[in-house]
Each structure stands twice: as C-alpha cells, then as structure tokens.
Amino acid sequence: MRAMLPHTEGFAENDGVKLHYEVYGDGPHTIVFVPTWAIVHSRSWKSQIPYFAEHFRVVTFDPRGNGKSDRPEDPAGHANDAVFSDVISVMDAVGVEKATLVGLSFSGLVSLAVAALWPDRVEAVVTTGASLPIVPPVEGRGDCFEDDIPDPVGWQKFNRRHWERDYADFLRFFFGKVFNDPHSTKQIEDSVAWGLDSDGLMLARTIDSRDCPDGTPIDEDLFRRIKCPTLLIHGDADEITRSEGTKKVAELTGGELHIFPGGGHSLAARYPAWFNTLVRDFLARHLGTYKPARRAASRRKRALYLSSPIGLGHARRDLAVARELRKLHPDLQVDWLAQDPVTRFLSANDEAIHPASRMLANESAHIEAESGEHDLHAFQAIRSMDEILIKNFMVFQEVLEEQPYDLVIADEAWDVDHFWHEHPELKRAQIAWFTDFVGWVPFAENGPREAFLTADYNAEMIEHVERRPEVRDNAIFVGTPDDIVDLSFGEGLPRMRDWIPRHYGFSDYIIGAHPSTFGSRGDLKAELGYDDGHKTCIVSVGGSGVGASLIRRILTAYPIAKAKIPELRMIVVTGPRLDPAAFDVPDGVEMRTFVPDLDRHLAACDLALVQGGLTTCMELAAAGTPFLYFPLRNHFEQNFHVAARLDRYNAGRRMTYAETGPDQIAEAMLEELRAPRTPHPVAADGAARAASMLAGML
C-alpha cells in the first residue's frame, strides 16, 4: 500500500513521445523528481514523495522506456537532448514555471543539464550519485557490452546479449551493485521488480543512443553555466558512479557537497531519513521553503507517546503506563502521536492527541491490505510498509524539531528505532523503547529465503543496538526473561534468551487495567448485564479487517454450540474496520463495532474467541476467562512469541484456522465451558513498574 496517492496524473508529450506524470501536494514551490535511467520508473522516489508533498508541489514522471511512458524503438528517441527536454515538457504539461530538480545517477546529469540549458525554469538542483561523463566510468562497466559471453560474471553482465537472454539476472547483479550497503534486501527486490516493467532490448536502446550525433556537449563548460543553488550528494562506496564527478561539479557550480561515508549509489532509497532531511534543510536555506520553527520549551515536563495502531491492546497498556507515570510526575503533559482507532480510544479517555497525528499514513489499512483469509504474513507486511514508515518517521521528526519534549515513549515504533539508530544525529529527545517481542522468526515451510531475510533484519537490529547503545535511553521488554521465546535470531546469530536480557530491562506484563481492579466477577457480570442466566461468549478480532473470515466461521459455529447449550449468548466485536451488516448473523448474536471498555467485558464473560494478539490474550489470562485463540497463518509473532508465552501461563486453547471447521469450533467452545483451565497469575503492577523505569528520565 502506498503512503500517498497522486491527486493528478496524465501524459505530457514531447516530440510524439508520451510521458506519464503524477502530481502530489500543492505547496508554493515545486519539486520535480526526475526519473533516472530507463531501468526503473518513478516509484524509485517512493521514500521522498509522501514527505515532500506535505510542503511542496511534487511532480514525478516515468522515463522513456519504462512505467507508463512510451518506449521509442529508435535509439535516437533516447538521446540526451530528448531526455533533457522531457523535463520541460512535463513541467509545461502540469503548469509549473519553475521547479527544484532532484536527480539520481543519470537523472543527476539530466537535472544539471536542464538547469544549464533552461536556467529560468530551475530554482535549485539536487543530485545523488550523479552519472557524469566528465570523469571516466567505473572500471569494467560497459567494457564488453557487444561481446558474446556465454556465462558472464560481474560487470560482464553489462552486455547486450546477456540482457536479451537473462535480463532478470542482470537486474539482480546491477541492483546488488547499486545497493551494496549492508541490509539492502528490500531496496534490491523493489528495484528488480521495477526493472522488469521494461526489458533488455529497451535498455540497450539507451546505450545505443550515445552514438547519436550533434547532441549537447557534456563538458565542464555546461556545468559552469549553472547559476542556481546546487546540492551534490555521493556515497564514498558507490560502485556505479564515481564521486570524483560529483566533487568536480561542486567546484564548477560552487555547490554544496556532501559525501556519505560508506554509502552506496542510491542514498535516497537506502538512507531516506538522512537524505530527506538534508534536502529539506538545503531548500529552506536557499529558497526560504519549509523548515520547522523551534518553539520555546514548556515549564511543564512533556512526553510524546507513540502508540501502535495495530490492535487496541497496545493502547490500553500505553494508557495504563501514562496514568501511572502521572502519579509520579503530576505535572506531566502527555501528547499522543497515534492513528485511528487508537486516537478514538484515547479521546474517549480524555487524552491529548497531537495535531500531527492527522498527517500519519495509515498503517492499519496497510496491514489489512496485506492480509488474506485469516492469513497475515506479518514479517513481509512490515517489510513492505517501508514507504509508510519513512513518511511517518518524518512526521515524528518534525514534531520534535518544532516542540521540545523531555521524553519520547515509543511502543513498538519500528520506524523511529530504525532511523535514529541509522542516523543518531537526528535524535532530538530521550527515548524509551517498549516491545513485547524481539526478533523476526521465519516459518520453515516458507523456505530458506525467508530464513535468510529474517536473519538479515535481526542482524541489522543487533548491529544497531550494539554499535549505538546510546540511542535507546531505556529499552523495556514487556514481560519477564522467562517470556522470551527460546529461539535463535538466525544462523550465526545469538539466541534470543542470551542476547535480550543484556539489552533490555523487564517490566513484567503490562495490563491496561488489571481484572483484579474490576471487583468480583459476580459484581462485574451484574454491572454489565451478564448475570441473567446466559452463558456469554465474546468474539473479538482486533482493529483490522483480517478477522472477517474468522468471524464468519464462528457465526456458523454458534447455532451448533447453542443447540447443546441453549443458554449460550454471543457478542461479536467486529472492530471499527468491519461493518456488522456485512455478516449473516444468526439469532442470539449481538454485533458491535467498538467497545472502549472491552477488557471489562472480557473479564466478565464466560468464554472468548479471539485471534492470537498478545494483549487481548493476556487480558483474558489475567481475568481467568477461558478462551480459544486462532493465530493468523504466517503471523510469526502470534505463532511463536505469543503462543510460547501463553503456554507458559497455561492460558487459552490454541486453534488452527485452516484445520478447524464450525463443528470443531463448537465442540472446543463446549469443552472450554465445561472444564476451563486455570491460568497462572499475571502481574498486576506491570504498568507501575514500567512507569517507575521511566520516572527517572523526567
């Protein structure tokens, strides 16, 4: 799912070639993200578009030869001058008189050339990894383009015939060079997929176009003609283009030069938080565009609380921590940066929602879009959420730049933890990091690729924490050391039970409101109207739409169970993303969309049927309520981390959705009602413990 969609799209035409463009945002200044070489299309700027469109008018377009743009068959249709003029044609089509141009690799050259040839149309130029023919190319690249090499290796794959025979192999090689930075698997996969939107024959035409005569000379005199501000960026480990060219153009234009230590070719994609901030501040200095205005510090202590939108259980425990923390710091002001339905829950509890929350891209909707029938590949869903995560991180970053906070409390805010570890210089406040699991886990049936990817992600996290321990001022595991699953982080990596205790403190489990505070079960039943002789069963499937198929199966099971227990009553809480009217509801079933005090209902009911989310399951365990839980297929957290913890607490009966029909569900319901198990006690003071761990930071 994309973090932002264009409000306008269409086609510009340049000498008969149609170029597909998209427009985002409506700021007073315009940025054109110029497409790089025809090997990929405009999605390569996905980590920049959603953020900059909050402050600028952003224009992107697909290059000749890829995406939705035309694919000229004549090599002359790919000559430099044609590509240079494409930028002006798109600007004319969208009604932009003047813009900042941002280019990567070949489009770095394009952006600089347009600034030289049409100086009145360009406000500023930003290049990263620019491909500039004023210096020799990387050694080996293009040396054997016309040779017939049966089994090419390395740069021999930069070869016309290999592109015709096995273009995908070339793309994998090439983008492995583009993203030679460690832990770049996602960027490589994206780029290969975009590259396959074209083909080797098409790409070869761009190479052939270099033989076209009478083009604009690409020499030092061209770059001397540039008068607008320039920001020239290059990684010093770039294996595609040489930084000497970027350094030379910086001299010729008097531009601002930034060399990224250890960086590869595509810094905008691999290090987007650093790149976006650098570009934003450059444009603010030279064009007077947006830059956060620092407000005066408040006399009151202030905390910014980031609460995950995936399930309301996190919100309940976060609210409990905030309330306990206020007992220790009565003057503490807590602002919440969160999304619906968390914001709805917090507002109902009179909490202050930061206005920037409305700018966050919707993570719950992404998770829902990634799900199937009771199936959510949680690791891949988070992995494919990279565009949303960088957008939301930039929103968070600007909040801290505008308003001082004494403490950030981050409940599984993966984006903040990742980008602050990658770029500690961006850190603006103390941070306390909360999580109830550590470590991505592969499913054996998903093969060695998933095992490799999860290990790579775990290795990056371990390297971050061990190399930059100062980034996390406090890291709190919501549980005890015994709650850590007994698994390895991956081949060659430590075991979780060995590594996690060295880097985390432990709060024990945090219950939003512990059932022991609700009074007796009898009194609670009376309060909620459950003391009328019925056996009350509550079905709750969280805050996303992935639970729809489970609800339907349970609704089918209900008449079977009721035939054996006539007093059985069922209440189904669909969550805010599911419409109760979309279900065939048997007599005796009550449908609700949202119950803000659901934990009290779960403590009072006789049986619950839920997914495998940890917070809901642990609330049920604490209440001693019998429950069936159905971990989502491919959801590693529910199937490994949560299941192991519930086993330790002797809580719940684990069900396998794919192997369980309505008859089996009904039978399991009856068995749990007749002979409920007794869970081990769940800590009642986890929120207070967590608050005491935070109190000294204020």
Structure-block tokens of residue 327? 């007992």
What pLDDT band is residue 365 in, cutting at 50, 70 and 90?
A: confident
Q: Of residues 608 and 300, which shows the higher confidence score?
A: 608
Length of the chain: 698
The pLDDT of residue 544: 64
Helix axis angle, 272-287 to 414-422, nearest 10°: 70
679 located within any domain: no
CA distances 586 to 194, 559, 562, 583, Å, are 48, 7, 11, 9
Residue 294 has pLDDT above 80, yes or no: no
pLDDT tier for residue 235 given thresholds of 50, 70 and 90: very high
Report the pLDDT value the prediction gives residue 236, as an integer from 0 to 100: 97
Pair (526, 496) in one structural domain:
no
- Read off the tokens for 574: 């669909």
pLDDT in tens, 403-444: 999 999 999 999 999 999 999 999 999 999 999 999 999 999
Q: Residues 223, 273: one domain?
A: yes
H, E, C per residue of 272-292:
HHHHHHHHHHHHHHHHCCCCC
Instruction: Name, in order, each residue with C-beta under 8 angstroms of 476's C-beta and a sequence gap of 6 or more.
Output: 432, 433, 434, 435, 504, 505, 506, 507, 690, 693
Domain-located, residue 1: no
pLDDT at 575: 78
For residues 42 and 22, is the Cβ–Cβ distance under 8 A?
yes
Question: Quick one: tokens of 489?
Answer: 């982080």
pLDDT score for 593: 87
My answer on whether 542 and 658 are in the same domain is yes
- 484 and 554: one domain? no
Q: Are residues 503 and 413 in the same domain?
A: yes
**Is the model's pLDDT at 508 over the cut of 90?**
yes
CATH code, domain with 629: 3.40.50.2000
Please say if the pLDDT value at position 312 is more than 80.
Answer: no
Tally of domains in the chain = 3
Tens of pLDDT along 169-228? 999 999 999 999 999 999 999 999 999 999 999 999 999 998 777 789 999 999 999 999
Per-residue pLDDT tens digits for 84-143? 999 999 999 999 999 999 999 999 999 999 999 999 999 999 999 999 999 998 988 888
Domain's final residue, options 287, 317, 343:
287
Domain assignment present for 172: no
* In a domain? residue 27: yes
Does one domain contain both 130 and 17?
A: yes
Say whether both 613 and 498 belong to one domain.
no
530 and 506 in a common domain: no
Q: Please tell me the predicted confidence (pLDDT) of residue 504.
A: 98
> What pLDDT, on a 0 to 100 scale, did the predictor assign at position 543?
59
**Which CATH number goes with the domain that contains 78?**
3.40.50.1820
Q: Residue ranges of the alpha helices (H) in 538-585? A: 548-564
CB under 8 Å to 67, separation ≥6 — which residues? 20, 35, 41, 42, 43, 197
Residue 135 and residue 256 share a domain: yes
Using DSSP's 3-state secondary structure scheme, residue 405 falls into coil
Q: Is residue 194 part of a domain?
A: no
Mean pLDDT computed over every residue of the chain: 95
- Residue at 617: amino acid letter: C
Checking if the pLDDT of 343 tops 70, the result is yes
Distance CA 130, CA 390 (A): 23
- DSSP H helices, 403-515, are 414-422, 447-467, 496-503
Q: Output the pLDDT for position 311.
A: 67
The reply to whether 382 and 428 lie within a common domain is yes
What's the order of all strands across the beta sheet hosting 474-477? 352-353, 333-337, 302-306, 407-411, 430-435, 474-477, 505-506
Nearest to 146 by CA among 136, 131, 165, 160: 160
- Boundary of a domain, candidates 287, 319, 345: 287
**Which residue intervals of 179-306 are DSSP H helices?**
185-195, 200-208, 220-224, 243-253, 267-270, 272-287
Tell whether 346 and 443 lie within a shared domain. Answer: yes
**H or E element that contains 570:** strand 568-573
Could you read off the pLDDT of 441-462 as tens digits, one per residue? 999 999 999 999 999 999 999 9
Q: Which of 213-222, 438-447, 504-513, 602-611 has the lowest mean pLDDT?
A: 213-222
Quote the CA–CA distance of 412 and 393 in Å, as a whole number: 13
* pLDDT classification of 687: cutoffs 50, 70, 90: very high
Say if residue 330 is in the same domain as residue 436.
yes
Percent of the chain at pLDDT exceeding 90: 88
In a domain, 296, yes or no: no
pLDDT at position 436: 95
Structural domain boundaries enclosing 258:
8-139+217-287
